[in-house]
Each structure stands twice: as C-alpha cells, then as structure tokens.
C-alpha cells in the first residue's frame, strides 16, 4: 500500500498509510505515586508540510508509546480517524488520528533531505488579535514577551483550571494570550 498525504486522510476507513515526522510530543501524567502516563498526544507532519494531531489512548500507551521518538520519520498505518478536538487545536487539520492496538509504526531509515522538521504556522498579529479569548485554536507566535499575570482559577466543564494571561508584542501594541 502506498503512502498518502495527510490532506487526503478522512474518516472513510482505517486503512490509511502515511509517512510522517512525529513532533511536538505532549504527555500528561496522573497524580499517582509514581506518576503514570495517562495521555499521549503529538503532531504528525508529512512531506507536504501538512500537520495532523494524533493521540494514543490510555489503554494502548504502554504498547505504542515506546515505538515513537520525537523528530523521527515513520510510516504509520491502521489508525482511526476522528474529528479534531473542538477547543485548543494545535493544527488546522479537521481530523485527528487515534492509534489502536493494531496501529503499525515503522521507522523510515532513508529520510528525504527536504522533509519538514517542524510543525508550525506562524500567525500574523492581526489574526492573533482576532483570536484573543477564543478557545478553538492555539497559535504559533513569535514576539517579545512583556509580562504575564498571576495565576487565577477558572471554572470549566472539566473542573477548576489555572489561567495565566501572557502578554507579547511585536514592537507596537501588547497582545494578551490566555493560557491554561
């Protein structure tokens, strides 16, 4: 089966095969002693610089997580496709990949020299200003950090969350970015 670009991946079936660089690992641990990895997410980045979020559900972390090293390129097949999360999406892709017990991960030894290294989409300040207070999407931003607020508590559907306002500027006006 030939690899297909991420822009063509959709929920039609689970027999997709993609060649991607895995980047931006995000691990969430329990409060147990010792802490246990409870959620593992990352970004898959293909040769066309298209990015898609991926998650390994808790029950498959012990099997699948050791097979991935951040920054390396793999062929990945037999994964599920679901709608991207509704809030705090880190990429624009409308779908995300979810690993299963049957997901096959094989490292690519001969990586093309032009294969993208980083999954980022720098956001212009005009667009960033429109996103202040909106939770659908996270944004990649380059700017000068000017200050941050004290931590405040905010009630959400997932319970009480800590909130910090981070202020950046590109030399003119500071913009507030809310972080949780």
* Domain coverage including residue 15: 6-107
- 49 in the Ramachandran plot: left (φ > 0), alpha (ψ -120 to 50) or beta? left
Same domain? 92 vs 148: no
Task: Decide if pLDDT at 179 tops 60.
Answer: no
pLDDT tens column, 56-113? 999 999 999 999 999 999 999 999 999 998 887 888 899 999 999 999 999 999 999 9
List, in order, residues 6 or more apart from 9 with CB less than 8 Å away: 16, 18, 52, 81, 95, 97
- Residue 61 covered by a domain: yes
Q: What pTM was computed for the model?
A: 0.76
Residue 75 is predicted with a pLDDT of: 97
The band of 180, judged by pLDDT with boundaries at 50, 70 and 90, is very low
β-pair type (152-156, 95-98): unpaired
Same domain? 93 vs 13: yes
Residue 39 is predicted with a pLDDT of: 87
Residues 85/93/2/19 CA torsion (nearest 10 deg): -80
In total, how many domains does the chain have? 2
The domain spanning residue 32 has which CATH number? 2.40.50.140
What is the pLDDT of the chain when averaged over all its residues?
A: 86
Q: Which structure tokens are listed for 156? A: 């959400």
pLDDT tens column, 122-142? 777 777 777 777 777 776 666
Q: How far apart are CA 169 and CA 50, in angstroms?
A: 28
Contact at 8 Å (CB) between 56 and 40?
yes
Same domain? 99 vs 10: yes
Same domain? 166 vs 100: no
Same domain? 33 vs 103: yes
Same domain? 143 vs 95: no
Q: What share of the chain has pLDDT > 90, as a percent?
A: 50
- Residue 118 covered by a domain: no
């Amino acid at each position: 089966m030939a690899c297909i670009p991420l822009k063509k991946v959709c929920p039609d079936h689970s027999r997709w095969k993609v060649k991607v660089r895995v980047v931006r690992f995000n691990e969430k641990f329990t409060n147990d002693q010792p802490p246990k990895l409870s959620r593992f997410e990352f970004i898959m980045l293909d040769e066309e610089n298209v990015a898609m979020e991926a998650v390994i559900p808790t029950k498959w972390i012990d099997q699948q997580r050791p097979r991935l090293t951040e920054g390396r390129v793999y062929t990945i097949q037999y994964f599920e496709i679901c709608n991207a999360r509704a809030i705090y999406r880190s990429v624009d892709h409308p779908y995300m990949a979810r690993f299963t017990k049957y997901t096959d991960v094989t490292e690519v030894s001969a990586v093309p020299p032009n294969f993208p290294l980083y999954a980022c989409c720098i956001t212009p300040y005009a667009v960033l200003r429109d996103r202040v207070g909106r939770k659908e999407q996270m944004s990649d931003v380059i700017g000068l950090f000017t200050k941050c607020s004290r931590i405040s508590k905010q009630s959400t559907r997932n319970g009480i969350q800590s909130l910090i306002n981070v202020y950046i500027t590109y030399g003119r006006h500071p913009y507030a970015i809310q972080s949780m």
